[in-house]
Amino acid sequence: MRMMHPDRLAVFAGLFAGLCFGIFWLPLRMLEQSGLEAPWALALFMTIPAVMCLPVAWHLRRDYLRGGRALIGGVLAGAAYAMYAASLLYTDVVRAVLLFYLMPIWGFALGWAILGDRITRSRWLAIGLGVVGMVVIFADDTGLPLPRNMGDWLGLASGMFWAVGCMLILNESRVRTATHAVSFFLVGALLTVAVALWSTSAGHVLVPDAGALKAAAIWFLPVALVLILPAGFATVYAPTRLNPGVVGLLFMTEIAVAAVTAAIWSGERFGLREVIGLPLILSAGLIEPAVMTWRDRRARVERTA
What is the tens place of the pLDDT at every residue in 183-238?
Answer: 999 999 999 999 899 889 988 888 888 888 888 899 999 999 999 999 999 999 99
Domain extent listing, the chain: 6-304
> Using 50, 70 and 90 to split pLDDT, how confident is the model at 1?
very low
Kindly state the percentage of the chain with pLDDT values over 70: 95
pTM: 0.86
Q: Are 288 and 126 in contact (CB under 8 A)?
A: yes
Q: How far is Cα 90 from Cα 88, in angstroms, rounded to an integer? A: 6
Question: Over the stretch 148-176, which tens digit does the pLDDT of each residue have?
Answer: 788 889 888 999 999 999 999 988 778 88
Q: Residue 82: CB partners within 8 Å, gap ≥ 6? A: 46, 187, 188, 190, 191, 192, 195
Q: How far is Cα 290 from Cα 296, in angstroms, rounded to an integer? A: 10
- Mean pLDDT is lowest, of 100-109, 240-249, 287-296, for 287-296
